[in-house]
Amino acid sequence: MEAAAAVRSVRETLGSDAEARTLVAHVLGIPPSRLLLAPALDDADAELLAGLVARRAAGEPLQHLTGVSHFRTVSVEVGPGVFVPRPETETMVGWCLERIEPGQRVVELCAGSGVVSLAIATELPGLEQWAVELSPDAVTYMVKNLAGTSVTPVEGDMADSLQGLDGSVDLVIANPPYVPLEAWESVPADVRDHDPHLAVFSGQDGLDAMHVLADAAARLLKPGGILAAEHAEVQHESVVALFASHGSYGEVRDHKDLADRWRFVTAVRNPAVP
C-alpha cells in the first residue's frame, strides 16, 4: 500500500489528517514531513498500522501509540502511567521563560514526564533546576526524559521535598491535578481511562493538590520569587481566591491560554513576616 493511500484510509477511520499522517509516519519510522517521499507499506507495516488505528479508534491516546509527546521545542517519552502533556500548558511555560534568567533556581512540582523542566532547560540554559514527582511510574519516564540535562529529578511528595532549598527558589512551576471527582463523567474518555488518576483528579472540588502546592511553594520560594500553576477554566475565581487568601503571596493574577481560556495563576512570594 502506498503511503498516501494509507494516510487516506486512516483519515477516513479516525477523521483526522494529522493523526493519520502521524501514525503512518510512525509505522514507517520517518517524520511526517517525509511522507511524500516515503516507501510503500509492506504487509507487516500494514498489519501494525491497522492495529494502531484500532487502538486509537477505541480511545487510546495517540501519544501512547507512538510513545512520544511533543511540547514547545522538545519531545518526551510517554506511555501508560504518566500524564500526557497538553499544548495549553505551553503558554504558562512561555510566560515563565520571560521572567527568569540564567543562574536562577527553578523547581517544577507535580512534574510527571518532566516535559516542563525539559522545555525550560532547553530554551534557557544555565539555570539550576529540580523536578519533583510522586508517582514511581511517572518518575521512570521523568528520569529518562531528563537524562543528560542539568535538571535534577526527585522522587517524592511536593509537600516536603527539597527542604534544603527552602527560601532560595526563584520560580516554582506546576501543573498539579485539578479535576474535581464530581466531574468524573464529563472528563474525556482518553483522559479518564488512560491518564493516571493521581495526575488528574484532586478531591471533590479539584483543589486538594492546589492547597498543598500553595504551602510548598511558599516554603521554597525566596521573597519576590514567582509561582505559576495551571488550573481548570472553571476554577478561575476559586484558585485566585485560594492564593490571595493564603497570606504568603501578593500580585495574584490569572492568565488565559491561546484558546482564550483561563488557564494558569501566578503569584509573587511576599517577604517573610518576622
How far apart CA 202 and CA 97 sit, in angstroms, is 27
Residue that the C-alpha cell 544555565 belongs to: 126
- pLDDT bin (cut points 50, 70, 90) of residue 274 is very low
Reported as a single tens digit per residue, the pLDDT across 127-153 is 999 999 999 999 999 999 999 999 999
The mean per-residue pLDDT over the stretch 2-12 comes to: 93
Reported as a single tens digit per residue, the pLDDT across 85-132 is 999 999 999 999 999 999 999 999 999 999 999 999 999 999 999 999
Task: Say if CB 167 and CB 191 are below 8 A apart.
Answer: no
How far apart CA 19 and CA 52 sit, in angstroms, is 11
Residue that the C-alpha cell 511524500 belongs to: 36
Q: What is the mean pLDDT of the chain?
A: 91
The pTM of the full predicted model, rounded to 2 decimals, is 0.89
How far apart CA 108 and CA 116 sit, in angstroms, is 8
Is residue 199 pLDDT above 80, yes or no?
A: no
